[in-house]
């Protein structure tokens, strides 16, 4: 009798210890939602002690697909909608919202707007100096992205020549958003493209250029007048959400989570024009 | 044995092989799984190692870049460059600058130094590619002129250079830039490759190899390069054949993405894997062998009982059927099954043979019993004649010698009669047909009768019969008094037979009650002081046809069946028999028997009848044969009874209801209604008629006949021809006490001299040797020539002469189309009346015809009939002469 009771106590203690232990949920993947997710994670971690969300440096959407696919992580972060073959592999997409892709200049750039054609000319190597565009003379340090990159694909969707562009010799190609941000910060006359919320990670006063005269604001995106955007989201496998993941998703959908999302210029799901 | 060895080997071999294969398979699978896991681990380790190579490579490149930056700063902050820029830019100064920068390049061991002025115009370039005057478009120069320190990569003419670009200041003003570059070329990669023990390739986006750590040509997959770049994650290819892991690592070199291909030689790790697999094969073989050995031992141990069973079955088969079993080939189990099946079928066959033999033996035994009973019947019929004649003869005036002879005939006849009885009893016992009756009886009365009978017999041999009864005066028991009497008679007569001048003690006492047995156990013992029995002979004493000493048969007579029958009776009654004997001193036979308590209280003793003078009873005789009617009427009349004759069963039933009778004598074979039917009818009447004692009278002496009579409800049985003594005994037994009066149990041959002299022996019986007529039966029988019998003999003869032709006519007329019941009845009647009148041979012929008629053998009856007719024709004149004689003179005495 007493031994049975002792075993019950031990079992109960183990269960309590199990529930009490905080789960570290690492959400690897794309750089596009990195900044906003990091902000959400900080708020979530501050609100409760049971789970801890970790947003590691970007490994790209491919990294998210790989890690979730191999079961290394239960949730991954992506900067685009899933492709058909990815959905067929069983990935489930949870949208965080739409984020405008911004044509961004370094802190020293004085030009405030670029046309699509000018952008194509810059990246093709035909225009190399801001002076040619009416700005203060400085070499245009154009930073390109791989054609698999979400931001580049968002631009290429709007500016068709971008789909088959060959970058000029002076254009450098980086893989990840933080690398782009580092170059934007280092080269005042640089030029790149990145979703708006991620640019919050820049340490210098980077310049958001209007595309064909339309500013990349959430308002313009919501109105539908600004055409380039990425769909930020999280992916997981069916029934693959851990309690921590569910709690974090609940937090994102909570008013506070939505406030943080909006604060970073992201148009929540279903709000886009 | 060779077959056995082969079959044993086959099951062994099969099972051992299966065991061993399973064990080997399990082991091999385990090794395979662990091998796969190990392989995966090794692969993962290789990948991890390559990723480490990538990281280390990046760090090493960063270190090199840092060195370049330090060098650039050192040069930029040195005096010479500033002085140069502050002075004129030509002539010797340029030469001096060039000299000093060349030295700096050599000292720093770095590949490339480029100096520009504040208009980005290259003043110096260490590789002399463009020794000056060109505008530098390189990333970082413009920024350095803004005062920034920049680290940038530059792909130029197929060579990747990491450059640290520093502003050159003079008097607080940026006057130019200096870039110190590290060329990420094959030379550097050879060095890094050595440090990392890896083959390294630096690949541009175009697929162009920018640097290689080896001169060995290697084809790289451009699609994998593109995949690594676009997916931004490492791509790995592993080759089992070449034991290589190739990683396509997307790598940012300062500010641009490139692909570094790292080739890791995993031959050592894979070699270890291969060695492990070789060891696994050896272990598998060892385990295979070990399991085989274990399985052999285990099977031998497990199958041992099976072999033992087979050997036993084979031995049994050999022992029982005389030949061994040649099992078909097969494995051990099949062989055992085969052996057992063969054994079983042989046993079944043997069993069938035994059953058939048993049936044959039983049939033979049955035939023997049948033969015995038939023979005894056949012997008994004439024997009855002999006994009857002897008895009658005894009652005629005889001289002493004649008397002795007659007594000898009677004695021999009775012995023969007893022997026949014994044989019949034994035959019935062996046939299992002996039934022990359960009726109430008075034990004391039974013992008294026995003592009375044997006391006299004992005295004839000078023996004294004493009793030792420890019983209440009257003890009513339920059991079989007839068998008890038979047992005790046998033992007492044996005792008398084997003693001379001795004492025979009949002891009867109750035994202590047995637990769970409410029956009364009695111990009866017969002790004599006779010759005794040798110890070695005691064992065979109760076996058939064995006497203690074979010579005793000759000396004392006897069949040797008595004790056997006693034993059977005792055992059938649930008791035991034993003998204690000392040779020369005497024997004691002891029987212990259980009896139930009597159902009803005892009737008043009827033993007084033994001394009555006359029987005053009314007796109904159911008899169809006129001759027999007259004879029986005469005998009964002589005894004092009042007789009423009924000619068939139906009339008997009718007569019984019209006036009261004390007893019915019932012939079995009668027309209209036979004795059995009449008995059943009487028993069905209301009391008191139904209670009248009925005694069967039949010429059929077979034991079954008696049983049939009893079954039909009759009380007793007398065989024909009727003799006075048994008839009287029977009547005394069955008549109510008041019905008998003063008649001597043995009607005294009062009219005969007690011991007539041999000379006075009448010779008339043997005067006509050819005569068929036995005069003693009727003509000269004193019973029928009694003063009270009138002209009885005349009547009998007249009746016989009148009746017999009718019976013969019946036989004749009914024969062509046989009506068997009539033929049988006629023959039976003829047999009966002929015996009664003393025509034994005619009686025998009639009996023969009766037997044939029962078998419905018309041809044989037809053959036998003329003989009967001829003998009757022969007897007729004699009978007529006798009749004339009788009518002419008065009867004897």
Is the per-residue pLDDT at B762 higher than 50?
A: no
Q: Work out the percent of chain B whose per-residue pLDDT is above 90.
A: 8
List CB contacts (< 8 A) between B230 and chain A: 146-148
Closest-CA residue of chain B to A60:
B232
Q: What is the pLDDT of residue B2?
A: 43
Render pLDDT for B247-297 as a digit per residue (tens, 0 to 9).
999 988 888 889 999 988 877 777 777 788 888 888 888 888 888 888 888
Say if CB A179 and CB B131 are below 8 A apart.
no
CA separation for the pair B841, B834 (Å, rounded):
8
**pLDDT category, B801, cuts 50, 70, 90?**
confident
Average pLDDT, chain B: 79
- Cα dihedral angle (B450, B452, B457, B459), rounded to 10 degrees? 130
Is the per-residue pLDDT at B787 higher than 60?
A: no
Residue B246 in tokens: 């190739």
Render pLDDT for A156-195 as a digit per residue (tens, 0 to 9).
999 999 888 999 988 999 988 889 999 999 999 999 999 9
Render pLDDT for B161-212 as a digit per residue (tens, 0 to 9).
898 999 988 888 888 888 888 888 888 889 888 888 888 999 988 888 999 9
Is the per-residue pLDDT at A273 higher than 50?
A: no
Nearest to A63 among B146, B233, B255 (CB): B233
A75-78 and A51-54 strand pairing: unpaired
Average pLDDT, chain A: 89
Q: What is the pLDDT of residue B395?
A: 66
**B208 and A CB contact within 8 Å:** no
CA separation for the pair B196, B645 (Å, rounded):
149
DSSP-derived letter for residue B662 is: S
- List the end-to-end C-alpha distance of chain A, in Å, as a whole number: 68
Locus of tokens 């789960």: A23
Which of B27-31, B159-163, B241-245, B326-330 reaches the highest mean pLDDT?
B159-163
Q: What is the pLDDT of residue A249?
A: 92
Render pLDDT for B293-310 as a digit per residue (tens, 0 to 9).
888 888 888 888 888 888
List CB contacts (< 8 A) between A145 and chain B: none
Which of B712-726, B751-765, B833-847 reaches the highest mean pLDDT?
B833-847
List CB contacts (< 8 A) between B255 and chain A: 172, 174, 179, 183
Residue B210 CB contacts under 8 Å (≥ 6 apart), including other chains: B155, B158, B159, B160, B184, B185, B202, B203, B204, B258
Q: Work out the percent of chain A whose per-residue pLDDT is above 70.
A: 93
The residue with greater pLDDT, B783 or B892, is B783
Please give the full DSSP string across B291-329, using - where no structure is assigned.
HHHHHHHHHHHHHHHHHHHHHHHHHHHHHHHSS---PPS
Nearest to A66 among B137, B233, B256 (CB): B233
CA distances from B211 to B102, B125, B309, B876 (A): 25, 22, 85, 164
**B143 and A CB contact within 8 Å:** yes
Nearest Cα residue to B488 out of B507, B470, B514: B507
Closest-CA residue of chain B to A167:
B205
8 Å CB contact of B256 and A147: no
Residue B879 CB contacts under 8 Å (≥ 6 apart), including other chains: B773, B797, B800, B801, B837
Q: How far is B251 from chain A (nearest CA, A)?
A: 9
CA separation for the pair B77, B83 (Å, rounded):
11
Q: What's the gap between Cα B536 and its chain centre?
A: 41
Q: What's the gap between Cα B862 and its chain centre?
A: 57
Residues of chain A that touch chain B, judged by Cβ-Cβ distance less than 8 Å: 59-60, 62-63, 66, 128, 138-139, 141, 146-148, 170, 172-176, 179, 183, 186-189
8 Å CB contact of B252 and A148: no
CA separation for the pair B591, A198 (Å, rounded):
127
**B205 and A CB contact within 8 Å:** yes
- Residue A101 sits at φ, ψ, to 5 deg, of -90, 125
**B521 and A CB contact within 8 Å:** no
Q: Is B893 helix (H, G, I), strand (E, B) or coil?
A: coil
Q: What is the pLDDT of residue B184?
A: 87
Residue B507 CB contacts under 8 Å (≥ 6 apart), including other chains: B467, B468, B469, B470, B523, B524, B525, B526, B527
List CB contacts (< 8 A) between A146 and chain B: 229-230, 232, 257
The residue with greater pLDDT, B131 or B855, is B855
Q: What is the pLDDT of residue B765?
A: 36
Using CA of residue B352, residue B356, residue B358, residue B359, what is the dihedral sign? Answer: positive
The residue with greater pLDDT, B503 or B411, is B503
**B252 and A CB contact within 8 Å:** yes
The residue with greater pLDDT, B172 or A262, is A262
**B229 and A CB contact within 8 Å:** yes
Locus of tokens 């033929």: B823
Interval B701-728 mean pLDDT: 75
Say if CB A50 and CB A22 are below 8 A apart.
yes
Kindly report which listed range (A200-209, B133-142, B463-472, B508-517) carries the lowest average pLDDT score: B133-142
Neighbours of B763 (CB within 10 A): 6
Is the per-residue pLDDT at B893 higher than 90?
A: no
Is the per-residue pLDDT at B444 higher than 80?
A: yes
Neighbours of B410 (CB within 10 A): 17
**B820 and A CB contact within 8 Å:** no
CA separation for the pair B22, B29 (Å, rounded):
10
B149: left (phi over 0), alpha (psi -120 to 50) or beta: beta
**B637 and A CB contact within 8 Å:** no
Is the per-residue pLDDT at A212 higher than 60?
A: yes
List CB contacts (< 8 A) between A63 and chain B: 232-233
Q: What is the pLDDT of residue B565?
A: 87
Nearest to A172 among B148, B233, B255 (CB): B255
Q: What's the gap between Cα A130 and its chain centre?
A: 28
Nearest to A170 among B137, B232, B233 (CB): B137
Render pLDDT for B347-393 as a digit per residue (tens, 0 to 9).
898 899 999 999 998 888 778 767 776 676 677 667 766 776 676 67
CA separation for the pair B759, B771 (Å, rounded):
23
Kindly report which listed range (A231-235, B503-507, B791-795) carries the lowest average pLDDT score: B791-795
Nearest to A60 among B142, B148, B232 (CB): B232
Bridge partner residues of A210 (DSSP): A113
Nearest Cα residue to B285 out of B36, B20, B18, B33: B20
Q: How far is A272 from chain B (nearest CA, A)?
A: 29
CA separation for the pair A184, B418 (Å, rounded):
149
**B256 and A CB contact within 8 Å:** yes
User: What H or E segment, with its residue span, contains residue B523?
Assistant: strand B520-527
Interval B126-146 mean pLDDT: 75
The residue with greater pLDDT, B358 or B766, is B358
Say if CB B674 and CB B685 are below 8 A apart.
no
User: How many separate helices (H) and strands (E) can be counted in chain A?
Assistant: 10, 10
Nearest Cα residue to B656 out of B682, B680, B632: B682
Kindly report which listed range (B63-67, B126-130, B568-572, B690-694) carries the lowest average pLDDT score: B126-130
CA distances from A156 to A77, A106, A146, A194, A219 (A): 22, 21, 12, 13, 22
8 Å CB contact of B255 and A183: yes
Interval A64-81 mean pLDDT: 92
CA distances from A29 to A52, A56, A66, A77, B224 (A): 17, 8, 9, 5, 21
8 Å CB contact of B233 and A62: yes
pTM greater than 0.90 (yes/no): no
Bridge partner residues of B664 (DSSP): B620, B694
Is the per-residue pLDDT at B403 higher than 60?
A: yes
List CB contacts (< 8 A) between A60 and chain B: 231-233
DSSP-derived letter for residue B683 is: H
Interval B432-442 mean pLDDT: 80
Burial (CB count <10 Å: 0-12, 13-18, 19+), residue B617: buried
Q: What's the gap between Cα B797 and its chain centre?
A: 70
Is the per-residue pLDDT at B419 higher than 60?
A: yes
Neighbours of B99 (CB within 10 A): 12
Is the per-residue pLDDT at B12 higher than 50?
A: yes
CA distances from B599 to B438, B445, B479 (A): 10, 17, 10
Q: What is the pLDDT of residue A15?
A: 63
Q: What is the pLDDT of residue A211?
A: 93
**pLDDT category, B546, cuts 50, 70, 90?**
low
B578: left (phi over 0), alpha (psi -120 to 50) or beta: beta
Interval B736-765 mean pLDDT: 40
Nearest to A172 among B150, B229, B256 (CB): B256
Say if CB B150 and CB B76 are below 8 A apart.
no
8 Å CB contact of B139 and A59: no
Is the per-residue pLDDT at B88 higher than 60?
A: no
Residue B364 in tokens: 């033979």
Q: Is A125 helix (H, G, I), strand (E, B) or coil?
A: coil
Nearest to A138 among B142, B229, B250 (CB): B142
Say if CB B324 and CB B294 are below 8 A apart.
no
Please give the full DSSP string across B106-155, using - where no structure is assigned.
HHHT-SEEEEEETTSBEEEETT-TT-SSPBP--TTHHHHHTT--EEEEEE
Q: What's the gap between Cα B240 and its chain centre?
A: 70
């Amino acid at each position: 009798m007493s031994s049975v009771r002792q075993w019950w106590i031990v079992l109960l203690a183990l269960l309590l210890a199990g529930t009490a232990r905080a789960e570290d949920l690492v959400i690897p993947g794309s750089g596009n939602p990195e900044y906003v997710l990091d902000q959400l994670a900080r708020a979530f971690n501050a609100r409760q002690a049971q789970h801890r969300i970790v947003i590691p440096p970007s490994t790209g959407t491919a990294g998210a697909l790989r890690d979730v696919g191999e079961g290394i992580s239960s949730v991954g972060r992506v900067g685009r909608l899933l492709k058909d073959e990815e959905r067929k592999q069983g990935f489930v997409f949870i949208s965080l919202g739409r984020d405008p892709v911004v044509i961004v200049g370094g802190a020293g750039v004085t030009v405030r707007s670029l046309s699509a054609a000018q952008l194509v000319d810059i990246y093709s190597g035909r225009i190399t100096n801001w002076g040619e565009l009416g700005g203060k003379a400085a070499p245009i340090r154009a930073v390109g992205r791989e054609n698999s990159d979400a931001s580049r694909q968002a631009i290429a969707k709007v500016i068709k020549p971008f789909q088959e562009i060959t970058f000029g010799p002076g254009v450098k190609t980086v893989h990840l958003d933080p690398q782009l941000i580092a170059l934007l910060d280092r080269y005042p006359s640089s030029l790149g493209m990145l979703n708006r919320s991620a640019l919050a990670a820049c340490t210098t006063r980077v310049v958001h250029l209007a595309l064909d005269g339309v500013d990349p604001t959430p308002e313009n995106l919501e109105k539908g007048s600004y055409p380039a955007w990425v769909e930020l989201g999280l992916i997981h496998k069916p029934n693959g959400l851990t309690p921590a993941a569910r709690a974090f998703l609940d937090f994102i959908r909570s008013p506070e989570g939505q406030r943080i999302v909006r604060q970073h210029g992201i148009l929540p799901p279903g709000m886009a024009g | 044995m060779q077959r056995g060895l082969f079959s044993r080997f086959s099951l062994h071999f099969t099972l051992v092989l299966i065991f061993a294969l399973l064990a080997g398979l399990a082991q091999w699978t385990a090794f395979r799984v662990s091998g796969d896991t190990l392989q995966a681990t090794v692969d993962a380790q290789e990948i991890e190692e390559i990723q480490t190579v990538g990281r280390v490579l990046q760090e090493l490149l960063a270190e090199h870049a840092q060195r370049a930056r330090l060098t650039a700063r050192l040069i930029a902050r040195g005096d010479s460059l500033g002085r140069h820029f502050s002075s004129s830019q030509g002539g010797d100064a340029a030469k001096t600058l060039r000299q000093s920068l060349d030295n700096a390049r050599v000292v720093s061991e770095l590949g490339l130094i480029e100096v520009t002025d504040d208009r980005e115009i290259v003043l110096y370039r260490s590789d002399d590619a463009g020794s000056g005057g060109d505008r530098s478009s390189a990333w970082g120069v413009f920024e350095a002129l803004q005062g920034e320190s920049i680290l940038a990569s530059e792909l130029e003419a197929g060579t990747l250079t990491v450059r640290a670009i520093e502003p050159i200041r003079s008097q607080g003003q940026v006057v130019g830039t200096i870039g110190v570059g590290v060329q990420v070329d094959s030379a550097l990669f050879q060095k890094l490759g050595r440090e990392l023990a890896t083959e390294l390739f630096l690949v541009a986006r175009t697929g162009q190899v920018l640097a290689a750590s080896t001169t060995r040509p290697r084809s790289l997959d451009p699609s994998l390069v593109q995949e690594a770049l676009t997916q931004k994650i490492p791509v790995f290819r592993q080759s089992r054949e070449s034991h290589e892991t190739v990683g396509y690592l997307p790598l940012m070199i300062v500010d641009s993405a490139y692909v570094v291909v790292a080739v890791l030689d995993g031959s050592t790790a894979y070699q270890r894997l291969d060695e492990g697999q070789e060891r696994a094969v050896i272990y598998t073989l060892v385990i295979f062998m070990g399991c085989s050995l274990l399985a052999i031992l285990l099977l031998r141990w497990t199958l041992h009982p099976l072999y033992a069973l087979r050997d036993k079955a084979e031995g049994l088969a050999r022992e029982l059927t005389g030949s061994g079993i040649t099992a078909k080939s097969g494995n051990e189990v099949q062989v055992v099954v085969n052996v057992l099946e063969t054994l079983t079928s042989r046993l079944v066959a043997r069993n069938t043979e035994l059953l058939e033999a048993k049936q044959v033996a039983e049939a033979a035994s049955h035939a023997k019993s049948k033969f015995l009973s038939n023979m005894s019947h056949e012997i008994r019929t004439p024997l009855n004649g002999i006994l009857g004649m002897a008895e009658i003869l005894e009652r005629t005036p005889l001289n002493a010698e004649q008397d002795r002879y007659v007594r000898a005939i009677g004695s021999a006849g009775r012995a023969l009669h007893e022997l026949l009885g014994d044989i019949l009893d034994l035959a019935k016992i062996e046939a299992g047909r002996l039934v022990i009756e359960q009726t109430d009886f008075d034990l004391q009365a039974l013992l008294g009768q026995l003592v009375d009978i044997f006391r006299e017999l004992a005295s004839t041999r000078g023996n004294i019969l004493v009793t030792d009864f420890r019983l209440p005066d009257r003890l009513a028991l339920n059991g079989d008094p007839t068998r008890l009497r038979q047992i005790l008679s046998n033992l007492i007569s044996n005792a008398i037979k084997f003693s001379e001048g001795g004492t025979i003690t009949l002891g009867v006492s109750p035994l202590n009650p047995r637990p769970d047995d409410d029956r009364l156990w009695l111990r009866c013992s017969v002790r004599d002081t006779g010759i005794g029995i040798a110890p070695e002979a005691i064992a065979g004493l109760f076996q058939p046809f064995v006497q203690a000493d074979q010579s005793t048969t000759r000396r004392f007579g006897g069949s040797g069946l008595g004790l056997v029958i006693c034993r059977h009776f005792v055992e059938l009654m649930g008791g035991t028999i034993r003998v204690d004997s000392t040779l020369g001193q005497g024997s004691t036979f002891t029987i212990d028997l259980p009896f139930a308590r009597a159902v009803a209280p005892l009737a008043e003793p009827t033993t007084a009848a033994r001394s009555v003078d006359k029987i005053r009873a009314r007796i109904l005789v159911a008899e169809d044969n006129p001759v027999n009617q007259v004879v029986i009427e005469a005998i009964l009349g002589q005894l004092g009874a009042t007789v009423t004759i009924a000619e068939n069963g139906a009339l008997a039933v009718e007569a019984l209801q019209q006036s009261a009778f004390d007893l019915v004598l019932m012939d079995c074979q009668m027309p209209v209604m036979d004795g059995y039917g009449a008995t059943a009818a009487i028993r069905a009447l209301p009391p008191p008629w139904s209670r009248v004692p009925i005694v069967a009278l039949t010429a059929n002496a077979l034991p079954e006949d008696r049983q049939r009579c009893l079954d039909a409800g009759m009380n007793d049985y007398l065989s024909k021809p009727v003799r006075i003594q048994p008839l009287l005994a029977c009547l005394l037994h069955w008549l109510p006490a008041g019905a008998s009066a003063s008649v001597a149990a043995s009607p005294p041959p009062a009219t005969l001299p007690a011991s007539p002299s041999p000379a006075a022996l009448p010779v008339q019986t043997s005067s006509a040797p050819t005569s068929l007529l036995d005069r003693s039966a009727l003509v000269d029988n004193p019973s029928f020539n009694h003063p009270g019998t009138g002209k009885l003999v005349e009547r009998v003869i007249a009746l016989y002469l009148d009746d017999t032709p009718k019976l013969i006519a019946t036989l004749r007329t009914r024969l062509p189309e046989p009506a068997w019941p009539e033929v049988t009845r006629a023959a039976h009647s003829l047999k009966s009346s002929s015996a009664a009148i003393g025509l034994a041979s005619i009686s025998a012929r009639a009996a023969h015809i009766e037997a044939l008629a029962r078998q419905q053998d018309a041809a044989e009856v037809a053959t036998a009939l003329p003989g009967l007719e001829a003998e009757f024709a022969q007897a007729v004149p004699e009978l007529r002469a006798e009749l004339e004689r009788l009518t002419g003179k008065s009867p004897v005495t």
